[in-house]
Amino acid sequence: MKSNNETLTPVEIEQLINESLSHYVTDNFPQGVLAVCQQLTITQDHNKAKKPKKITINLVMPFVCQGELDLLAQTLTQSLVCPVSINVELAIKPVRQFTLNKTQNGTEQASPAQGKIANIIAIASGKGGVGKSTTTVNLAYALMAEGASVGILDADIYGPSIPSMLGIKNEKPSSSDGKLMTPLNAKGLSAMSIGFLVDEADATVWRGPMASTAFNQLLNETDWPELDYLLIDMPPGTGDIQLTLAQKVPVAAAVIVTTPQDIALIDAVKGIAMFDKVKVPVLGIVENMSYHLCENCGHKSHIFGEAGGEHMAQDYQTHLLGQLPLDIGIRQDADFGESDIIENSTGEIANHYRKIARNMSAQLFLQCDNASPLTATVIVKP
């Protein structure tokens, strides 16, 4: 195949693009892009000399991947010597079908949440304080930056920190019909928290049944908009409360956040076992505070140990979805109710979170969707 657009015909360009998409093999595209793409459209703009001056590739995809395919577009731009852009349109489907809720009089009724939320993902940790809430917030914004519609449900009854991390600590949800609560909007993210409804001090002494009743209310009595993903910030630990929540809520899959420290890893293993018990697939592990880069000399130090998450992922046949640095910016953003991903969606920290969000979304599709991998319907526009 020729590689310079001066000598390539439009048909040859289409051929080259198709080959590149089908041969592009990565962890998230184990059989190439075309194996999972639901629709492909290639549009070529030509100048008067019939040479391409711009090529646009539109793809309909079942998981978030814009950031990864932007890099492929750069490679194509170089090989075709013409600006190539790839636009991803998302068609995210539920990976799991759920039975309907039983009402008090025994009739079955679909909850509002079930109709509107495609996939619920539980973000859990065995040990407290490993950065689960911080990671949940940033992954929610990262999924949004990749084009998905996202909600966040804070079920951490021991310390509902999501309202303050989103900068909406003193706000309260309203209701337009007196029945359903309207979730709060935090820079485009739909948010609901147990912290909006009860005092922090009251919730910490709750036992399983009370926590799960409140939790069900939060999920089902919230007027969620149409969402591709709802991330649930689970309470830390692997006791009865966590087990009940994992069973009560129609969770599609779970992600475990841990630090590389032995003590956190031991508890993270308990988290995997807990989700196994209730038959919720674990998509993988996020290793938080993996390393610290010295701001002065750039030296990388592994404060909490090295490669613990990687070994754990190997031992328990799951994926290491990504590693995040111990970073002052992450801590400051969490404290001030901001996120680097909104302010600077191409910054280094934002890119870490976006990559993990893409891995999580792809693993949900690849591991849990019966339709994986899909065959592409190719429509080529001249």
- The closest alpha carbon to 234, from 220, 219, 221, belongs to 219
329 marked ligand binding residue: no
Q: Which residues, in sequence order, are bridge partners of residue 138?
A: none
Phi and psi torsions of 186, nearest 5°: -110, 95
The residue behind tokens 């962890």 is 27
Q: Which is nearer to ligand ATP, 94 or 329 (CB)?
A: 329
Q: Can residue 288 be called a binding residue for ligand ATP (CB under 6 A)?
A: yes
For ligand ATP, the binding residue among 10, 83, 112, 128 (CB under 6 A) is: 128
128 marked ligand binding residue: yes
Q: Which stretch binds ligand ATP (CB under 6 A): 62-70, 155-163, 271-279, 314-322?
A: 155-163
Instruction: Count CB-CB contacts under 10 A for residue 308.
Output: 21
129 marked ligand binding residue: yes
Q: Which is nearer to ligand ATP, 180 or 243 (CB)?
A: 243
133 marked ligand binding residue: yes
- Name the amino acid, one letter, at 45: D
309 marked ligand binding residue: no
Q: Can residue 130 be called a binding residue for ligand ATP (CB under 6 A)?
A: yes
Rounded distance between C-alpha atoms, residue 21 and residue 378, angstroms: 12
Q: Which is nearer to ligand ATP, 55 or 255 (CB)?
A: 255
Q: Which stretch binds ligand ATP (CB under 6 A): 35-43, 60-68, 129-137, 169-177?
A: 129-137
Minimum Å gap between C-beta 5 and ligand ATP is: 44
**Count of residues in the chain:** 382
DSSP string, 333-370: HHHHT--HHHH-TTSHHHHHHHHHHHHHHHHHHHHH-T
Number of residues that bind ligand ATP (CB under 6 A): 20
127 marked ligand binding residue: yes
Q: Can residue 327 be called a binding residue for ligand ATP (CB under 6 A)?
A: yes
Q: Can residue 129 be called a binding residue for ligand ATP (CB under 6 A)?
A: yes
Q: Which is nearer to ligand ATP, 19 or 262 (CB)?
A: 262
Give the single-character DSSP code of 14: H
Order of all β-strands in the sheet with 39-46: 84-90, 52-61, 39-46, 377-380
For ligand ATP, the binding residue among 5, 133, 212, 244 (CB under 6 A) is: 133
Q: Which stretch binds ligand ATP (CB under 6 A): 72-80, 130-138, 182-190, 279-287?
A: 130-138
- The closest alpha carbon to 39, from 283, 374, 382, belongs to 374
286 marked ligand binding residue: no
Rounded distance between C-alpha atoms, residue 151 and residue 168, angstroms: 14
For ligand ATP, the binding residue among 236, 260, 271, 308 (CB under 6 A) is: 236
CB 192 within 8 A of CB 218: yes
Question: What long-range pairs does 345-348 form, CB within 8 A, spacing at least 24?
Answer: 345/145
- Residues annotated within a binding site for ATP: 126-133
- Return residues touching ligand ATP (CB under 6 A): 125, 128-134, 156, 159, 161, 236, 288-289, 324, 326-327, 330-331, 334
Binding residues: 126-133
